[in-house]
Amino acid sequence: MKQVRPIAITDGRLVLPDGVREGVLRLEDGRIASVDAEPRKGDDIVDVRGRLVAPGLVDLGVFKIDKPAFRFGGITRAALMPDQSPPLDLPSRVAYIAKSGKPDLWVHPLAAATRGLEGDALAEIALMREAGARAVATGRSWIGDSGTMLRLLQYAAMLDMVVIAHAEDAGLVRGAVATAGEMATRLGLAGAPVEAEALAISRDLALAELAGARIHFRQVTTQGGLDLIRQAKLRGVAVTAGVTPAHFMLSDLATAEFRSFMRLSPPLRSEEDRQAVIEAIGDGTIDVIASGHDPRGPEDKRLPFADAAPGMAGAESLLAMTLTLVRDGVINIARAFSLLAGAPARLLGVRAGALLSGYEGDIALVDPEKPWVIDSRMMAATAGNTPFDGQPTQGRVTALYKGGVPVGL
């Protein structure tokens, strides 16, 4: 689908990189033609009556392409993790995925760092880059061999690709389903120490600094890990960090009833770590908020907590959960959309994620005050395994454009 006629979105509050202001946004030939300009003769006029006009969300690191859920959540681009069946470790598989979502959703495949995601031999990263991979990822697991990780980082630096890493020392988390501490002990759950995250980050930061590579830690969820990221940024290391809403909205207290929707990877942390994540979002240590969208059906979740598969359906609640940080005064609206769209687009190297002239016309119209209740039974996702089931919230996308073309919600 291509945009046929220019569109002028009027009477909106434009979410720009430097703040929010009233204005008109014009879309022409699938791109943003002008920001804060007057409509022209022949434009289709869309009066949004004071709603937010924001960039479409760029979801960095989903495990399944789930178009109905993405539309509901305002997601116009999604970076797909290589943990597929089979893994995205061959150029042919990457090329197929890169074309799979068009025209109404851009899917950016992440190349598997190693063959079969087994952590040993490097995959054909350069060929996968030519096939459409926008970054390289270690998947759900940590590469335990430091030599392999260093070679990966050196190779990625040569190709100018960011490495998206999982931050848990595999030797410490093997068999664990919770964070070690009072809650895990009370529940009788096998727990891993929070130091597993800091140890993994510390090693990978040292190797990235040695290789001169860019590294992004997909989820950083502990005070210790965040302190390491903060210090590395001060030293000038090319590091970025992400998190999902579960780790700033919930603590390990949410596991008290053994509900398997709370079985996540990394596991929910202590209240102190949750507060540390919120502080890191506020001070800029965390660069990206992503959904971690991983819909799991009853065969994976209707099991005892320790036997259930980790993962959550997060695409539909991503925006609403992030807007809670705005209402709580942690961040402003412009920063929220930088976390949800601008920063992930920059990591992927795509001209999207911001309302700038020449960028892709991927636009979400948002009513930030619209109330709704998250209901796992009513979700558009292929499965409703949300840890926020039953939670009242605010903020909904009311219309979505991909390349200047309306996308049905």
Averaged pLDDT, 162-173: 96
Share of the chain above pLDDT 90, in %: 95
How many C-beta atoms lie closer than 10 Å to residue 92's C-beta? 11
| All structural domains of the chain | 56-352+370-391 (3.20.20.140)
Q: Please state the pTM of the whole predicted model.
A: 0.96
Q: One-letter amino acid identity for 324? A: T
Lowest pLDDT segment from 41-50, 227-236, 242-251, 359-368: 41-50
pLDDT at 308: 95
Which tens digit of pLDDT belongs to each residue from 302-330? 999 999 999 999 999 999 999 999 999 99
Would you place residue 102 in the very low, low, confident or very high pLDDT band (cuts 50, 70, 90)? confident
Would you place residue 403 in the very low, low, confident or very high pLDDT band (cuts 50, 70, 90)? very high
Q: What is the Cα–Cα distance from 145 to 169, expressed in whole angstroms?
A: 11
pLDDT at 159: 97
The mean pLDDT value of the chain amounts to: 96
pLDDT at 2: 85
CA distance to 95, 105, 107, 138, 151, per residue, from 90 (Å): 9, 22, 16, 14, 18
pLDDT at 71: 96
Indicate whether 103 pLDDT > 90: no
pLDDT at 271: 98
Which tens digit of pLDDT belongs to each residue from 2-23? 888 999 999 999 999 999 999 9
Helices (H), 119-241: 125-131, 146-159, 170-173, 182-187, 195-211, 223-235
Would you place residue 233 in the very low, low, confident or very high pLDDT band (cuts 50, 70, 90)? very high
Indicate whether 193 pLDDT > 80: yes
Indicate whether 1 pLDDT > 80: no
* Closest C-alpha among 289, 251, 244 to residue 269: 251
Averaged pLDDT, 73-83: 98
pLDDT at 43: 86
Which tens digit of pLDDT belongs to each residue from 332-357? 999 999 999 999 999 999 999 999 99
Q: One-letter amino acid identity for 44? A: D
pLDDT at 36: 81
